[in-house]
Amino acid sequence: MKRSISMLICGLLVATSVASATSVTALAAPKIDPYGVVQAELNFGREGVVQSPEVYNNSKITVLTEIEAGDYWLVKDVDFSEGLSKISLTARADSASVIEVRKDGVDGEVLGNIKIGSTNGEFKTFSAKMKNLEGKHTIAFVGVVGNASVDYWSAEKGETATEPDPTPVYGSIDPYTTVEAESCVNRKFAAEMTSGNTTYLAIRADGYAVASNVDFSKGVAALIVNSKATKAAILEVRIDAVDGELLSSVKVNPTEEFVERAVKVSQNLQGTHDLYFVAKMAGATVHFDSWKAMTAPVKPNPDPEEPIDDPEPVVTDKVNPYTTVEAEDATVMEKLDVKTADGRTYVERLRPRVTYVVKNVEFDGAEKIAITYKSDCSHVLEIHDGDTYGPRLAFLNIPCSDYEWTTVYLNFPDLHGTYDLYFVPKHGVIDFDSWSIIKDGQTPDPVDPTPVDPDPVDPDPVDPDPTPVDPDPQPVAEGLTTEYTLNNWGSGYQVSVKVTNNSSQKVETWAVKVNKNDVGIDASWNIKVSEEGNYYVITPVEWNSVIEPGSSVEFGFQGSSHVNDKIELFAEGEVKDEPQPVDPDPVDPEPVDPDPTPVDPDPTPVDPDPVVINDDLTLDYTINGQGYVTINMAVVNNSSSSVNSWTLRIKKSQITIDSSWCVKIATDGEYYVITPEAWNSQINAGGSAFFGIQGSGLTGNTIDYILQ
């Protein structure tokens, strides 16, 4: 370590003497000898770097500190007369850091990356191989990752005086297999790093890595990028130049683990191109592990001799989707069990991160998909073609069935040809019995197991028939009012609606209109849905068409395309301003209202009620993400009898909740109060209610809560 010396002459000349420079002509620019010790404070310009004196091991030293991403210092006229093979830095850091060495300036060619590990407050020496360099050059030391302090540096001579390496000619890259990011030779502000068994590139803002000579002979429909970031960032993929045409943008989140994300591309790229992976968002560093291209599927496939490309067994039998397809007859199932109970064989717990594939499905048109299932919570299921990350064919919001077997009919694209269907669960859990496809004008197959349901309440077999009936039922029923709650979790949403009869007369049938500009309905329950101009027309099923005076009916729908904060939704004949004339009716327990006044002061003791904890209920949860988190939860009923309601309280000081699904969120003092929807308030013995929240501010891997 260098001890401080009194500065009697120009700091530049003193520093030069410390750097062991050979004969320096007065007032001439010094020639720096890199093969001895060069103090870090000997620099000819710096940005973001702080020069600081300190005492280390009882000696006074001067160091450069706070070297972070984008910071740099320059050393001019470094004489590499005997070549260059390695540079060593004596540095200190609290966490993994990287400093690039660049030739002839901050934007110059990268000679090498020096990786600095955590030193626990000590100065340690770290070395890295460098590209050979000869003659006098300016050297730039540029921070890429972390926060480091440097005391001094030195270079090792070149092993042999070799000729400069010719510009390498790279072979073409096959993008249809996984391509490691570190194979990108041309980089800017991108350093190769290793964590555990993973080697990746750390690319700071406005840095890039280039995959050269990528052979897109098969075209491209999507890219799969494996990455994470220090904070929310964008990784742009550009064609043939750092400012070239944008092929795709990848949103990269700050997660602990690397996350694979499939993204669409702007065009079906053909031929050989260079791909520039460019990090965006100031202050963020993208950790880029690997990427892969997905080809656009060709349907139908006329070349059966091509199965050589697929190492899996060739499936020759075609699947007819217009008859009931049993769930257990899938081509591929991983992490799933088949169970037989109640005279029915089904796939148990279809959920995220499992594999479920049905291959060689032959389509000749489609309008709806019928899915027979049971669940405790709503379920989001995507169907992709050819691969888990292949083109998405359908986005299905499957409503909760109160854990009763039921069949739901959901919109499905009009497909023709042979497809491999990958069922990709995104949210929730269902027991999956069977599925089938319904073509335009086709009546649902009566083989559908729904009629087995002992409850005639399940109206689904009627669902497809009422289409011609739907536009007609627009009866004007006086005294109806509507209210709704909206739960939006980003990729989809759910609307729960309540229609109340405030009149003194029984309503024999009813209709509700919903503005199509405010929502797009993909799935529904307890209703029939048709369209009329700019409105969805919602009418009842047989068992809930009558609303007694003072009573109400509830139903719901889900969607994923668009939703507004306020939804235009009204009942035909709804009394909007004064639904109260019915209140005097003795049926309405309004006379009791005067009594509650003395009760009103009592609610204060309700606050301590969180202490009344139901020991039969437990909360399971998983936390995903850092900073901004997604928490998937399940309230489990461990008792031998059903529970009719439950309440979960979470302190606001722990997390700021932005969105939720399958629950209602209210506030009470310092608590969020989480309560179920009407359809998941009852939990059967041994059953669970599944839901989730998203928000920011949570630190750690646990949450404090009160479950009642």
617-707 sits in which CATH class?
mainly beta
Q: What is the pLDDT of residues 598-644, one digit of tens each?
A: 444 444 444 444 444 567 888 888 787 666 777 878 888 888 788 88
Q: What is the DSSP letter of 547?
A: B
The 10s digit of each residue's pLDDT in 320-377 is: 999 999 999 999 998 899 999 888 999 999 988 889 999 999 999 998 899 999 987 7
Predicted confidence at residue 442, as pLDDT, reads 66
Residue 500 or residue 471, greater confidence: 500
Give CA–CA dist 631/623, Å, rounded: 5
Strand duo 222-229 + 233-239: pairing: unpaired
Q: What are 268's strand-pairing partners?
A: none
462, β-bridge pairs: none
From start to end of 447-521, where are the E strands?
480-488, 493-501, 512-515
* Average pLDDT estimate for 478-507: 83
Average pLDDT over residues 96-100: 89
Residue pair 423/381 in contact by the 8 Å Cβ criterion: yes
CB atoms within 10 A of CB 62: 20
* Residue range 647-661: mean pLDDT, rounded: 86
What is the pLDDT confidence band of residue 5, given thresholds at 50, 70 and 90? very low
Residue located via tokens 């009697």? 8
User: In the structure, what pLDDT confidence band is assigned to residue 161 with cuts at 50, 70 and 90?
Assistant: very low
Pick from 144-153, 237-246, 388-397: least confident: 388-397
Q: Where are the beta strands (DSSP E) in 516-638?
A: 523-525, 527-532, 535-540, 552-559, 569-571, 617-624, 627-637
| Distance separating alpha carbons of residues 301 and 362, to the nearest angstrom | 12
Q: By C-alpha distance, which of 670, 666, 680, 394 is closest to 693?
A: 666
Residue 432 identity (one-letter amino acid): F
Which pLDDT score is estimated for 296? Answer: 61
Q: What is the mean pLDDT of residues 283-296?
A: 87
Contact 464, 410 (CB under 8 A): no
The helix or strand, by DSSP H or E, that contains position 348, with its residue range, turns out to be strand 344-350
Average pLDDT over residues 46-62: 89
Fold of 179-295: Jelly Rolls (2.60.120)
CA dist., res. 292 & res. 361, Å (int): 26
**What integer pLDDT is reported at residue 613 of this predicted model?**
58
The mean pLDDT of 560-565, rounded to a whole number, is 81
With beta carbons less than 8 A apart as the criterion, state whether 526 and 404 touch.
no
Task: Name the band, by pLDDT with cuts 50, 70 and 90, for residue 594.
Answer: very low
Q: What integer pLDDT is reported at residue 308 of this predicted model?
A: 47
Question: Could you tell me the residue ranges of all domains in the chain?
Answer: 38-156, 179-295, 325-438, 480-575, 617-707
Q: Which CATH number fits domain 480-575: 3.40.50.2300, 3.30.300.10, 2.60.40.290, 3.90.1150.10?
A: 2.60.40.290
Instruction: Output the pLDDT for position 627.
Output: 67
Tell me the mean pLDDT in the region 475-494.
75
Q: What is the pLDDT, as a whole number, of residue 261? A: 86
- Of 268, 214, 276, 211, the closest CA to residue 242 belongs to 276
- pTM to 2 decimal places: 0.32
Question: Does 412 have pLDDT greater than 60?
Answer: yes
What's residue 286's pLDDT? 92
Which has the closest alpha carbon to 571: 667, 666, 483, 649? 483
**Nearest by Cα to 252 from 288, 223, 205:** 288
Residue closest to 437 by CA, chosen among 426, 427, 445? 445
Check for a shared fold between 179-295 and 617-707. Answer: no
The token pair at 650 is: 């979470």
Quick: pLDDT tens for 167-218.
444 468 999 989 999 888 888 888 888 887 788 999 988 889 999 999 999 8
Note the pLDDT of residue 314: 46
> Domain 38-156, CATH 3.90.220.20 — does that match?
no
Please determine, looking at this structure, whether the domain spanning 325-438 carries the CATH number 3.40.50.10860.
no
Q: Please state, rounded to an integer, the average pLDDT across all residues of the chain.
A: 79
CA atoms within 13 A on the CB side of 309: 7
